[in-house]
Amino acid sequence: MMNSSGDVTTIRVAGERPYDVVIGRNLHGAVRQALALGTRRVAVIHPPTMGESATAIGAALVESGFLVTYLPVPDGEAAKTAEVAAECWSALGRAGFTRSDAVVGVGGGATTDLAGFVAATWLRGVPVIHVPTTLLAMVDAAVGGKTGINTSEGKNLVGSFHEPAGVFCDLEFLTTLPAQDLAAGLAEVIKVGFTSDPVILDLITRDPRGAVDPASQVLTELIERAIAVKAGVVAADLRENSSSGIGREVLNYGHTFAHAIEQVENYRWRHGDAVAVGIVFEAHLAQASGLLPSDVVALHYEILRSVGLPTSYAGAALDRLMDVMKIDKKSRGDLLRFVVLEDIGRPVILAGPTNEQLAFAYSALGKGVS
Ligand code: GLY
């Protein structure tokens, strides 16, 4: 359910413990709205680059009578380690955090994944509130309760589902986000356009410049639409174990191949860039399987390129990528599993594609559709 009042839009995520995703500007004073009655202490987890914003949020909480502890963590994926989580647990212990206290994660998707994981595991679960500061975190990582850290075997292999008590998407953060990071976040929005909301594709086709302009109404609408889709998906299938239909797995369109690129490239690729290439690969895979018409594959290239996203990959060999994909969380046994499209808005699971189909998709990648 979406509600707009003034410049603020609220999207309710239904489920066992419903919560709101608030989208607007200058929201640092609003975070306390998501804290339960009886909360005394709040730990603000943030990377050093977000120190000023964390302080603004913390100061507003102090003004409202909360005791605030700041937990600076490394930037990006470097925060998602067992060591950093252990440091956060120790800090919570030293500050006397009880079950009625709360964690606030301020940062990109890596920070909110870590903050969620720390909150999920401290005393078997304390509330977490996310303040995502990148487009990718706003439209994906911070919504839906997936939390986790990485191990040397792969990304997000340790984690749990722990839904936030609230999410505050402050669009002002996007005005200082590097252009490439903004575009990378759009990859997740475009993914949602192809799987679930074609209006997203129309909006970007009509105004690709607006789509990458943090001040534009178009970008605000794209964000709201992507979050509304994700809210509906996770409300229906939080734990990705839907017994009817594709469920939460729909959000993994492009991700099987994207995670393999990220791992073989030692996480030097932006997640969104890898997702952009991943959805092109998976579109070609659907084409090779006789599922997807080539004009829809061509539309993938057009839309991704119009906002400056990559559509080709010339790194590791397919065999190497396949080895990595086999241990992906989405695989079952030895069967590779992909979300593919039968058409725009019609996602299905393709389990066990043939080597020929995979080779076709890999060699077509980047060449477009002739
Ligand atoms: N990022 C995919 C999901 O939240 O399920």
Q: Give me the architecture of the 179-367 domain, per CATH.
A: Up-down Bundle (1.20)
Task: Tell me the helices (H) and strands (E) count for the chain, helix number first.
Answer: 13, 12
To test the pocket of ligand 1, the residue of 230, 233, 238, 250 to mutate (highest count of ligand atoms within 8 Å of its CB) is 230
60, 76, 235 from 54: Cα distances, Å = 10, 16, 29
pLDDT digit string (tens) for 131-161? 999 999 999 999 999 999 998 877 888 999 9
**Is the distance from the beta carbon of residue 251 to the nearest atom of ligand 1 less than 6 Å?**
yes
CB 193 within 8 A of CB 201: yes
Under DSSP, the state recorded for 269 is S
Q: What angle do CA 296, 236, 195 make, to 5 degrees?
A: 5
pLDDT digit string (tens) for 225-248? 999 999 999 999 999 998 888 999
What residue spans define the domains of the chain?
A: 2-176, 179-367
To test the pocket of ligand 1, the residue of 117, 130, 146 to mutate (highest count of ligand atoms within 8 Å of its CB) is 146
Q: Give me the architecture of the 2-176 domain, per CATH.
A: 3-Layer(aba) Sandwich (3.40)
Model-level pTM greater than 0.85?
yes
- Residue whose C-alpha is closest to residue 234's, from 253, 258, 251, 256: 251
pLDDT of residue 329: 55
Q: What is the mean pLDDT of residues 60-68?
A: 97
Cα 65 to averaged position of ligand 1 atoms, centre (Å): 35
Cα 139 to averaged position of ligand 1 atoms, centre (Å): 10
Rounded to the nearest 10°, the torsion over CA 22, 27, 29, 30 is -10
Of all residues in the chain, the percent with pLDDT exceeding 70 is 98
Cα 33 to averaged position of ligand 1 atoms, centre (Å): 25
